[in-house]
């Protein structure tokens, strides 16, 4: 889902092609974020395909927000291009690789925010 994630506690920025010039996905994301306890605001930019999410770190965390967004957009985002003749093994492998990539992006964002917090405390 995400091509870029920037996170500091209380503020999360996600950039994805699924939001670029896509009013339907923007509405899905807006509705989803409005329903999360602890999210205090969001700004979706369909030109750049990014969403900035402000949240109360004492109530929710970036992992919960990202997991929810991934679930929402993976179901209704840009449909995968299927090879002629139906879904093949290549599509399944690409789907697993995309999931692994998202997991790594989330892990990296959390690690960087932890390092930034430690650096700020020192």
According to the model, what pLDDT value does residue 88 have? 45
Split at pLDDT 50, 70, 90, the class of 67 is: confident
Question: Residue 72: is its pLDDT beyond 90?
Answer: no
* Beta-sheet pairing, 11-15 with 4-8: antiparallel
Domain extents for the chain?
4-121
**What is the CATH topology of the domain spanning 4-121?**
Alpha-Beta Plaits (3.30.70)
**pTM as predicted:** 0.59
Split at pLDDT 50, 70, 90, the class of 44 is: very high
Q: Give the DSSP per-residue string, 47-77.
A: TTTEEEEEE-TTT--HHHHHHHHHHHHHHHS
Question: Residue 26: is its pLDDT beyond 70?
Answer: yes
> Stretch 31-48: mean pLDDT, rounded?
92
Split at pLDDT 50, 70, 90, the class of 78 is: very low
Report the residue count for the chain. Answer: 122
DSSP label at residue 36:
S
């Amino acid at each position: 889902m995400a091509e870029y994630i920037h996170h500091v506690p209380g503020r999360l920025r996600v950039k994805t092609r699924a939001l670029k010039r896509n009013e339907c996905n923007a509405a899905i994301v807006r509705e989803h974020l409005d329903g999360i306890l602890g999210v205090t605001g969001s700004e979706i930019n369909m030109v750049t395909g990014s969403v900035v999410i402000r949240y109360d770190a004492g109530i929710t965390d970036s992992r919960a927000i990202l997991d929810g967004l991934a679930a929402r957009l993976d179901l209704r985002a840009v449909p995968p291009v299927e090879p002629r003749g139906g879904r093949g093994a290549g599509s399944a492998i690409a789907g697993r690789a995309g999931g692994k990539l998202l997991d790594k992006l989330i892990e990296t964002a959390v690690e960087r925010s932890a390092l930034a917090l430690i650096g700020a405390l020192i």
